[in-house]
Amino acid sequence: MDNAQSHSSEGASQLDATINALKGGLSAAAGAAGSNIAGWIKTLHGNQQLSGISSELQHLHDALTSGATDTSALAKSLSTLGEHTTKAASSATPDAQDKLRQLGQALSAAGTQLKG
């Protein structure tokens, strides 16, 4: 297996893990959020097409690790990530498109849930 295939399967399992965490609701996702977000930042590092997602993930990671309690900022970040992820699905590989759409919807829903 070449490096691109290995990277692709790693990304697919990362997508599955993130989608499953978000499907359990925000409280379930919160425990794994720090390491999950850091993993995505590392995965997306250097990808210019996805720099908006990477940058927003860094904002979210910083807010979560600082112990900030500003839920409106967290909600906005999750909603922005949902929008960017859904848009990115259209240019993804066919096998990743559906999962990226699911992830985008889950992120948007989490943002809406957090807004109350």
Query: What is the pLDDT, as a whole number, of residue 29?
Result: 72
The whole-angstrom separation of Cα 26 and Cα 29 is 5
Q: Which of 9, 87, 97, 17 is nearest to 52 (CA)?
A: 87
Q: In which domain, by residue range, is 40 found?
A: 3-115
Per the structure, the count of domains in the chain is 1
The whole-angstrom separation of Cα 98 and Cα 27 is 24
Q: Where are the alpha helices (DSSP H) in the chain?
A: 3-23, 26-44, 51-65, 71-89, 94-115
pLDDT band of 34, cuts 50, 70, 90: confident
Query: What is the pLDDT, as a whole number, of residue 8?
Result: 56
CA angle centred on 70, ends 68 and 73, rounded to 5°: 110
The answer on pLDDT for 68 being more than 70 is no
Residue predicted with more confidence, 76 or 66: 76
Residues 6+ apart with CB under 8 A from 99: 12, 15, 16, 19
Q: Do residues 54 and 89 touch, judged by C-beta distance below 8 A?
A: no
Residue predicted with more confidence, 8 or 95: 95
Instruction: Label residue 27 exposed, middle or buried (CB < 10 Å: 0-12, 13-18, 19+).
Output: exposed
